[in-house]
Structure 1
Amino acid sequence: MHSTDEQLRMQPHDLEAEQAVLGAILIEPTALSTAQESLRTQDFYDSRHQRIFQAMLDLAAAGTALDLLSLGNHLDRAGHMTAIGGRGGLAELLTTVASASNIAHHCRIVADHAIRRRLISFTDSLSRQAYDKQAIDGLLQTVERGVRQIMTGREEAEWCALQQVAFDTANYVDRMHKGHEAVIGIPTGFADLDTLLGGWHRSDSVVIAARPSMGKTAFVLGSALAAARAGFKVGFFSLEMSRLQIGLRLHGMGAPLDLHALKTGTLTPQGWWHFAETTQHLAGLPMWINDASDLSIERVVSQARHLQASQGLDLLIVDYLQLLQIPDAALYQRGIAEASRRLKMLAKELNVPVLVLSQLSRACESRPDRRPILADLRDSGAIEQDADIVIFLYRHEVYVPDTDEKGLAEVLVRKHRNGPIGDRKVRFIARYAEFKDLPEGTA
């Protein structure tokens, strides 16, 4: 058991580093994005600092200017001012630094101490459980799960350059083989849709919605590829698929190559040649992929800001809305509505089009005509309200496999705040998981 001295030992922390982080944010509000990359509210040891940091996040989310006065007013309204020591105490806490230049270093110090505290808490709990007579397999699973949670708290998934995704995909397919022996805006990737919409426009929030298996991810990957090929910088949040799965999809539609052959490494000699050529092509495109599966809307906003600052950004894609982490399950619909609103605000803030994928409710499947309508958007009417453009994808063959319309997909533009709505048809090639324009004269 732990000795009395060990039990009374002060937990790891650095109050000066915490104050330096908060003071730097007050000096340079854009430093908040840097802090959000590595810190959560609970990472601060001092409860006063937790309240201040959370207040800063609240003000930033509301689009309110971040200064000592607005911060004090917010804390006062929340009833936290007394706990912080009044406005004088607040000023004293936040005036210990003269520059924001070292914020990344101070954030790392605060984050490291938070990791140490989590480790201490976990090992204390583990020690107590080890004295119990539970099955050893269960105890080892607890160890594995706990370590994974601690590491997840420290290392959020980082942006991965498409170059690395392309090379990782090449290595994966090679291993599988050996194992078996006029557009105004950003191009959508589809000529008829470009004619209707004029491309994706900066500051627009575009909702692309469908029932499962209609091809939402394939559709936006095709659009992302078209934009990157045109020289636009693309950020892709993939909450559902891993970056390897995304890499396989991009190789499949880029070559094109049969997706099953890619997954199993069973390409033909000509296929290998196309594969190698596609790998080199993808590696040179300006696209970054984030495949973290536990992102909150706050982390999406923070990491999108960071990507724009570090690499530049022209188009942002979120796949998909309902997979974002909502803190309170009881308030799920409100959380989705808030995420939708924040993504619209992000499109305006970063001045980029944001494509948001969304799952549709089953309501459309109970009608004779299963084509979606705006009322089918799941979870919140706010999704429709916030969107500048709403696009539905529909493939009749999903419901009627022997239909005469096999291989056809409908792109239904049902809302267009600044232009016309309408329907367009495209091809869907299942073996490549790819949407393509129909030949001229067949639409």
Structure 2
Amino acid sequence: MTTIELEHWAPTVEVTAAEMAIAGAAIQWRHLAEQAADLVRPEDFYTNAGVVYGAAVRLAEDGKPVDPAAVLRQLAATGDLARVGGVYVASLIGHACGAGSIGYHAGTIAVDAMRRRLNVASEQIRNLTVPGQFDPSHVDHARKLLEEATRAHIGGATAPTVGELLDDVLDGLERGTDQADRVLTGYADLDSMVTIRPGQLIIVAARPGVGKSVMGIDILRKLCVRRRQPGLYVSLEMSHADVVHRLLAAEARVSLNRFQNRTLEDDDWARIGQVRDRILDAPLVIDDAPEAGLSHIRSRLRGMQRTTGCDLVVVDYLQLMKPGSGGRKYESRQLEVAEFARGLKLIAREFNVPLIAAAQLNRGPESRADKRPAMSDLRESGAIEADADIVMLLHRPDMYEPEGERAGEIDVIVDKQRQGPRGTVPLGFQGHYGRITDLTKRWTPTPAGAR
């Protein structure tokens, strides 16, 4: 299942036997698939037994019957049967373990998965120590890699008590290490108000053409190009070439229209040449698969975990997401979008990474005198705001008053923040460059109880 081979990477015979034992049991009995799912995840497997096991777990989670024939249909629907092979699936039946052995074999798999993650993390940390490239700030990144690699992923593990957590939390507050994993947007005004951390789902919503894609790409530009932190951009409406055009326009300050119309002049090429190497070496992954769904994003992040890691994910945009092949069918689009929002939140938690999802608003703001959006305008699902840790709504006054005194500005309305204040942060909007800038150090708090 893995695409990388490091020294001492492959597991022992005992581990592969445990994987076959778990998968063999899961494809025959739903209650064993459910029992195993609480202890070990498909991505913890090394062999193709994990693909088969994942199909059985998906059937169980969907409330469907689990048996070898159903698993074969599920694998065929997701396109995995050709890779795994029906003969291999059938062979797993003879290796199945009983209910009493599930915990033992799951523990064997989970421990070896942790070993492999630690193997990858150690290689990444070694790369951070290359002479001439090492920076003291890499120590925090190395610590984060180790923490992620050794974090227990077994669902049945004992949850800590508040007493076990208290000293670590207080120690982090005292030493300031609780801020080490904070991800900055790159806008000083906004960062003074909003705190983005791993595991959070952040919604950036707006009407079409206001600037949600501009903000998503610009935040990643500041993170990956300027601060050299790894990020992932999942584009469901733009090609990778369009995204690169926007990066170049913003970084080189060249009119985006000249990229689109192929009318670049000598001075533009000179500016592009000055920023080329900076963008070339940026640890930014651009995924423009038009049918990207939750499983696709998970797969992409698993690959990044084995190499560079990922400090921020941006999905553009939520309502364009589609269920994967063989995915669950929903009674309504509202339920489907709600499931996507919940799934993105779980991905953020699972991979311990902040995830920004752009979302589209309905026409509600158009009917208001001030045209300002509200959370209730989130299109197709009110469940989006329930799963989000932070909701930021974008509003550009000059879309309604082109010659007004606030031309060239964009308001970021922080309408929800679980661990912080609500308010409005005005920023500069340079649409011709595809970028957003700071104005002044000011933001307006939202009065308590106001909407």
Q: Give the TM-score normalised by the residue count of structure 2.
A: 0.62
Q: CA deviation at 1:304?
A: 2.2
Contact 2:397 2:410 in 1 (8 A): yes
Map of 1:132-151 to 2, 5 A cutoff? none
Q: Report the equivalent of 2:228.
A: 231
Which of the two has greater helix per residue? Answer: 1
Letter of the aligned partner of 2:385 in structure 1? E
Segments of structure 2 that go 5 or more residues without pairing to the other structure are: 1-15, 25-40, 72-88, 98-104, 110-175, 445-451
Mapped to 2, the partners of 1:53 and 1:193 lie a distance apart of 41
Counterpart of 2:292 in structure 1 is 295
Q: Which residue of 1 aligns with 2:95?
A: 95
Could you give the per-residue CA deviations for residues 144-166 of structure 1, whole angstroms, max 9, x where no partner exists? Answer: xxxxxxxxxxxxxxxxxxxxxxx
Counterpart for residue 411 of structure 2: 410
CA distance in 2, matches of 1:397, 1:36: 56
CA spacing shift, 1:53–1:438, aligned 2, 3 Å: closer
What root-mean-square deviation, in Å, do the aligned CA atoms of Structure 1 and Structure 2 show? 3.6
- Tell me how far apart the structure 1 counterparts of residues 49 and 399 of structure 2 sit (CA, whole Å): 42
> 1:209 corresponds to which residue?
205
Give the letter aligned to residue 344 of structure 2.
L
How far 1:332 sits from its partner (Å)?
A: 1.6
Look up the match of 2:312.
Answer: 315
Within 5 Å, which residues of 2 pair with 1:282-361? 282-326=279-323, 328=329, 330-361=331-362
Q: 1:273 to 1:419 in 2, by over 3 A?
A: same
Q: State the distance in 2 between where 1:80 and 1:265 align.
A: 55
Identity of aligned residues (%): 31
Name which of structure 1's ranges 184-193 and 249-258 shifts more when overlaid on structure 2.
184-193
Report the residue type matching 2:43 in the other structure.
Answer: T
Per-residue displacement from partner, 1:19-48 (whole Å, max 9, x unpaired)? Answer: 99x8398498325699699x8xxxxxxxxx
What residue number does 2:429 align with?
428
SS of residue in 2 equivalent to 1:275? helix
Distance 1:346 1:80, change over 3 A: closer
Q: Distance in 2 between matches of 1:432 and 1:24?
A: 56
Between structure 1 and structure 2, the one with the greater Rg is: 1
User: Structure 1 residue 96: deviation in Å?
Assistant: 8.5
- Checking the alignment, whether the CA contact within 8 Å between 1:188 and 1:227 is kept in structure 2 is yes
Give the match's secondary structure for 2:214.
helix
Aligned residues: 313
CA contact under 8 A between 2:250 and 2:435: conserved in structure 1?
yes
One-letter amino acid matched to 1:351 = N
| 1:188 matched residue in structure 2 | 185
Deviation at 1:270, TM superposition (A): 2.8
Instruction: Give the 3 Å change call, closer, same or farther, for CA 438–91 of structure 1 in structure 2.
Output: same
Q: Which runs of 5+ in 1 are unaligned?
A: 1-18, 40-48, 63-73, 101-181
Q: CA deviation at 1:55?
A: 2.2
Q: Match of 1:276?
A: 273
- Give, in whole Å, the separation in 2 of the partners of 1:412 and 1:192: 12
Q: 1:384-403, aligned counterparts within 5 Å?
A: 384-403=385-404
Tell me if the contact between 1:322 and 1:359 (Cα under 8 Å) persists in the aligned partners: yes
Alpha-carbon distance, 1:186 to partner? 1.3
* Structure 2 residue identity aligned to 1:30: E
Structure 2 vs 1, CA of residues 259 and 80 (structure 1 numbering), >3 Å: closer, same or farther? closer
Structure 1: distance between partners of 2:418 and 2:304: 28
> What SS does the corresponding residue of 1:432 show, helix, strand or coil?
coil
Partner of 1:257: 254
TM-score by length of 1: 0.63
